[in-house]
Amino acid sequence: MKIYFGGAEKGSYRNMLLTAGVTRFGINLTHLPIPKKKDQDLNAMFNGGEVLLYVSETDEDIAKYDSFIRLHADSLSIVIGQPNYDGSWLGDKYVPIWNDPDDMERLAWLCQKNGRVAISDKAVTPKNQKRIKQLAERWGAQLIGMTSKPDLIESVPWDSVVVVSWTSVIRYGETQVWDGHGLRRYPAQQKESARKKHRADIIRLGIDIDAVMEDEVSAIGMLAIESWRQWETKTFGGYDPMDDTDETEFGTPENGDIIAITPPTPSGGKVVSGGASIATTPPERRHEGQRVLLPVMGIENITSMGTQSLDGHGESIEIAPEVTPVLKYNANPLRQCNNCYLSSRCPSFQENSECAFSLPIEIRTKDQLTAAMRALVEMQVGRVMFARFAEELEGQGLDPALSTEMDRVFTLVEKMRSISDNREMVSLRVEASGSSGVLSRLFGAKAGEQARQLPNGGLDSSQTDSLYADIIDLSEDS
């Protein structure tokens, strides 16, 4: 990823960037002062560096925009377009802009037709970030971000970004510093404590710490510029396999030596814009013979028993068996090592190869289902044990995540017991109204009468008198 330092249309910012050795500049045509009596030489102004041109979103002066880029097209590296402008005559230099988060169809069309799209930060939301990355990967498009938010820059695979917030250290008194792990930004209210906290980091960047503490404009500006450059190099400056600069040490091959021929770029050139229309041709209809089943699913034919009969020789035959196609899981993997997200850590990684692992899962019988559930419970118990080991190593008290995983074990065991339960139960619920009871309605009047009788025929008169004699009258005692 490349960073273009915006705000270079202002002379003081431009001089500071040139002094810092910056070679990529972003200029806002809306705020660029254009002399009326003499021509501007952009190559001389920016010391031959790369210049990216853009305008404010509220700028509707198409005539000024068109005349400027036609006059300085040779000196511009990238031209960020306006929604109502057709810059196809610029070829690969022209990059249309997308700034409507609700119009994902236009973004897809721009990625497909142009191959390069500039995206405003107001168009990127947490909900559409994943879709933006999918569209860029689907069409092999390069994205240019008009944003200065470090978290947004890291979340989307930008080819380039235009950063203007480095000027906030001069305009608003911010402090921006690279601490070796990330780019930190502090408001003016925290500048003193932040600069003391990052004293070692500022010295490591080669900036005069005394000048920074005294709030000198040039020092804090150079600190911000160098911090952004370090963040660009350390965070996004990975190895490029298409870059052959590391092969120069071998020198020019002589006769008889082996010559390594660099393969062409697989993405190819970018398609020139075809205009501002988003109309697309309808998709071609496929013949039914070209349609195939989804690779992750399969079809299995199950033959049911037909009518059993005897032929003339007395042998048993089956008449009209029914064949029923049913859906099944296809265990053949589709993953490839080149695009697998585990490729950097997989022990069986092999370039340009299919996945080395297979999961032949089959659950057709009760024993297979029980074995699968047992494996899941054992796997969850293993996670609990490892989490307990981590809790001991960290020594930071009780881990709530471990407690959650332990509860999950008991939930799985309870569900497994419920699925494996093969007891047969009969539940009977009978409601009756009227003089006769439920037993009389079910089993006849005699069964109801017997149910209402006391055991052993009840009590006679002598037994009743004896029962009353044993009762204590509490009112007389009191």
pLDDT tops 70 at residue 152: yes
Average pLDDT value for residue range 286-300: 78
Whole-number Å distance between alpha carbons of 399 and 98: 45
Residue 293 in domain: no
DSSP letter for each residue of 191-239 = HHHHHHHTHHHHHHTT--HHHHHTT-HHHHHHHHHHHHHHHHHHHH---
* Residue 315 within any structural domain of the chain: no
- Stretch 65-90: mean pLDDT, rounded? 86
d(CA 413, CA 116): 53
What average pLDDT score do residues 344-356 get? Answer: 83
Percent of the chain with pLDDT over 90: 15
Residues above pLDDT 70, as percent of the chain: 80
User: Residue 443's pLDDT is what?
Assistant: 65
R_g of the chain, CA atoms, integer Å:
40
- Helix or strand or coil: residue 122? helix
CB 212 within 8 A of CB 219: yes
Q: Tokens 């062409």 belong to which residue?
A: 264
* Same-domain pairing of 104 and 219: yes
Mean pLDDT of 343-349: 82
- Pair of tokens at residue 24: 């990529």
Among 262-266, 303-307, 400-404, which range has the highest average pLDDT? 400-404
pLDDT exceeds cutoff 60 at 144: yes
Is the domain of 216 the same as that of 346?
Answer: no
Closest CA to 32 of 68, 62, 5: 68
pLDDT score, position 426: 64
Mean pLDDT of the chain, nearest integer: 80
Q: Residue 378: is its pLDDT beyond 90?
A: yes
Q: Are residues 108 and 152 in the same domain?
A: yes
109 inside domain: yes
What per-residue confidence (pLDDT) applies to 445?
65
CA distance 320 to 308: 9
Paired with 303 in beta bridges are 323
Q: Where are the alpha helices (DSSP H) in 237-353?
A: none
Contact (Cβ atoms closer than 8 angstroms) between residue 115 and residue 141: yes
Examine the domain organization and report whether 385 and 344 are in the same domain. Answer: no
Residues 29 and 71 in one domain: yes
Residue 162's CATH number: 3.20.20
Tokens of 95: 């990059």
One domain, residues 157 and 210: yes
Q: What are phi and psi of 407, to 5 degrees?
A: -60, -35
Q: Do 351 and 370 lie in a common domain?
A: no
Q: Has residue 299 been placed in a domain? A: no
Q: How many structural domains does the chain have?
A: 3
> For the residues 234-250, what does the mean pLDDT come to?
50
pLDDT at res. 155 = 84
Could you tell me the residue range of the domain that residue 351 belongs to? 331-360
Q: Is residue 83 part of a domain?
A: yes
Residue 239 has pLDDT above 60, yes or no: no
Q: Note whether 70 and 183 are same-domain residues.
A: yes
Question: Helices 217-236 & 11-19, crossing angle to 10 degrees?
Answer: 60
442 occurs within a structural domain: no
> Which of 72-86, 271-285, 345-359, 395-409 comes out lowest in average pLDDT?
271-285
Which of 116-120, 396-400, 451-455 holds the top average pLDDT? Answer: 116-120
Q: How much is the pLDDT for 275?
A: 46
Contact 284, 315 (CB under 8 A): no
Locate 213 and state its tokens: 């503490």
Assess whether 355 and 383 both reside in one domain: no
Do residues 354 and 374 both lie within one domain?
no
More confident residue, 422 or 153: 153
**pLDDT over 70 (residue 5):** yes
175 and 40 both lie in a single domain: yes
Q: Look at residue 54 and tell me if it is in a domain.
A: yes
**Predicted confidence band at 231 (pLDDT cuts at 50, 70, 90)?**
confident
Q: Are residues 230 and 338 in the same domain?
A: no
Average pLDDT over residues 61-69: 87
User: Considering the domain boundaries, does residue 151 fall inside one?
Assistant: yes
